[in-house]
Amino acid sequence: MKTFWCLLFVLWPIIAITACVVAPSMNWWFPGEAASPLGQRIDDLFYLINVIVTLVFVGTQIALGYVLFKGAAKRDDDKAWFSHGSHKLEVIWTIVPGGILLFLAFYQMDVWGEFRIKGHFPKDVEAVAEVTARQFEWRIRYPAPGRPLMQDRQPDDLYTVNDLHVPTGRPVLINLRTADVQHAFFSPELRVKQDAVPGLIIPVWFEIPKRGEYTLTCAELCGWGHYKMKARIAAEPEAEFRQYLEQLQIEQNDDGFPDDAGEDEGD
């Protein structure tokens, strides 16, 4: 019976490790490779932490298995062994994890800074749109083609909902805000996640090298309709992006009357 319990406890870590090894082929992992250069660096950090955690996990589970089997091998009338702890061991397992955490804290600082701190954003980053989260959609405001994005609304600004277009191949920035409660701008493929906080305008930058459609979703439970706050980020080459804005401008300025309606008046 003792051996049965030992095997049962040793089995779980083996199942856990097997699941992690099988996970990539079963698509339980990330949604593919990161679609942005900074996202790939975030993935690298994630995998590094994963490797460290796995090594610690395997080590502790082997130690646990060893103690279990050693204990099970003892006879019932054997005397129990008491210890008062080991000063040396205590020092080692305090300093080693502390050292690993300090290393990670410093090692990830570059990526963190580039992602979050305005002074470390790429020099040529340009604001292309303002994204306002509200219950339960994403409202997008672009400047008119050729104009810079202003913080206040301009008469010729362009508006859409749940459809964010950005140019490919260069760093772009969006100004994130919320019209009501707290939301979170989350694009899993880009590895971008940023809370939208009432009263704040938060700059979020990313770069998408390849044309494509990427997911934008809300990662902050914001009310009954949270589940439907799904939008898309469409990345397209510069010329197409400009064309899109021009088309949006035409649609937005269309008053519904045919162009020659005024000329026919005198007939």
Amino acid in position 117: I
131 binds Cu ion (CB under 5 A): no
Name which position in 129, 131, 229, 233 contacts Cu ion (CB under 5 A).
229
Two structure tokens written together for 69: 């089997």
Q: Which residues contact 129 (CB under 8 A, 6 or more apart)?
A: 140, 141, 142, 149, 164, 166, 174, 175
Given 3-state DSSP classes, what are the helix, strand and coil percentages for the chain, each rounded to the nearest 5?
45, 20, 35
Closest CA to 207 of 91, 41, 46: 41
Segment lying near Cu ion (by CB under 5 A), choices 141-149, 207-215, 226-234, 235-243: 226-234
Closest CA to 187 of 38, 35, 45, 48: 35
Name which position in 34, 218, 231, 245 contacts Cu ion (CB under 5 A).
218
Segment lying near Cu ion (by CB under 5 A), choices 23-31, 34-42, 110-118, 218-226: 218-226
Among positions 58-87, residues that touch Cu ion (CB under 5 A) are: none
What is the closest distance, in whole angstroms, from the C-beta atom of residue 184 to Cu ion in the complex? 7
Name which position in 141, 165, 177, 183 contacts Cu ion (CB under 5 A).
183
Q: How many residues bind Cu ion (CB under 5 A)?
A: 4
Q: Which residue has the tokens 């989260």?
A: 133
222 binds Cu ion (CB under 5 A): yes
Binding string, residues 86-125; x marks residues near Cu ion by CB under 5 A: ----------------------------------------
Chain centroid to CA 190? 7
How many residues in the chain? 267
Q: Which is nearer to Cu ion, 198 or 209 (CB)?
A: 198
Q: Which residue has the tokens 């103690």?
A: 67
Q: Which is nearer to Cu ion, 120 or 228 (CB)?
A: 228
Q: Which residue has the tokens 């020092």?
A: 91
Interface contacts to Cu ion, rule CB under 5 A:
183, 218, 222, 229
